[in-house]
Amino acid sequence: MDTTGTLDEALARLHACGPERLGRLTNHAPMAVEALVARGQARSVHRWLDLYARKLEEFPSGVAPVTAANWRSALGDPSRAADWIRFFERELAEHPWREVLAAWWPRLLPGMYGGSTHPVIRVGHAVRTLLSGEITEPRLRELAHGLGYWAARHRPVATPAPLPGAAKAAAALDTVPRIAQQDGGFPARLDRVRALPVWAAGVTEPRDAYRHLTELVRAATHRYATHGHGEETMLVHAATAPNAVLRTLPALPQSLWPSSLLAAWTASAAVTAMYAPAAPVTYTPPGTFTPEEVVERALAHGDEHVIKLTDTALDVGDEPALPAALRSMELSVPLG
């Protein structure tokens, strides 16, 4: 995937930084640079990082080592982010990365809603790199940072009450009810999501889980073009969070695929409930562009969520996906 070494250089540069800034805002740079390299824009990575640098903070101080004996007490404690990252660095130095991922995925999956779903998205980018290219020290360390961030921000949710759903993902997303109180940040809104439509609940076969998850990512990406104005940033995650799970499935035992589908649906549907607009709009793209041209426009725009949604749209790869990426560029404030 990266024959220039740029990705490793960028990741090494970023591993001196923490996973968040201002105590709550996610560091998106590792995800964005991986997406840029994957889409043929390695030559522009360091220039983009120079622009993003003002949003980075130094790596945080640790509290106490996380160990195999005490990890449960540290789970979901944001102040332990450094401790968790160091724990996973040790685990990945001692064990194959797929083995570590398979052991921790079912422990972390119930809490994928913490950090506004960014930790699982970061893990998804790291896994794509490890699956598609050379396994290097910076790429393994990036997986450690992603898993550590996820463990620190681990936030389970109560099982939502089941509502009537639909057979198809797009129709099921259309039936998601908006929460009544449309204010507050992600954690406050998430607490108000108490019921969601049932979709794909009976899926038990791994290949069916993969097919359904692919359908969900496609539907959520298409939906952004007509619904992204509800919240231009947060609604990106209705597509990118399940896509992170989809990217990770090939590295996991297939027995974990059905539960991964259910968690991804809950995340996508919850984000939809929290931020969807009162009504969709008709969106007409500003022209017809090739995938390569859309990536170049995303890079020129520079916003990290635009880059990541564009990356997901290219994964989807059909005609309605690219307008969603173009819509995000119109709605979002450029990096500059």
Rg (CA), the chain: 19
Mean pLDDT of the chain: 97
How far is 115 from 152, CA to CA, in rounded Å?
Answer: 9
| Percent helix, strand and coil across the chain, each to the nearest 5 | 65, 5, 30
Nearest to 313 by CA among 331, 297, 296, 294: 294
* Coil, strand or helix at 39: coil
Confidence class of residue 1 from pLDDT cuts 50, 70 and 90?
A: low
Residue pLDDT, tens place only, 99-149: 999 999 999 999 999 999 999 999 999 999 999 988 999 999 999 999 999
pLDDT at 6 over 90: yes
Whole-number pLDDT of residue 312 = 98
Residue pLDDT, tens place only, 32-69: 999 999 999 999 999 999 999 999 999 999 999 999 99
For 79, the token pair is 């102040």
* Coil, strand or helix at 146: helix
* Coil, strand or helix at 20: strand
Domain boundaries, the chain: 6-152, 157-336
Confidence class of residue 282 from pLDDT cuts 50, 70 and 90?
A: very high
Cβ of 235: how many Cβ atoms within 10 Å? 26
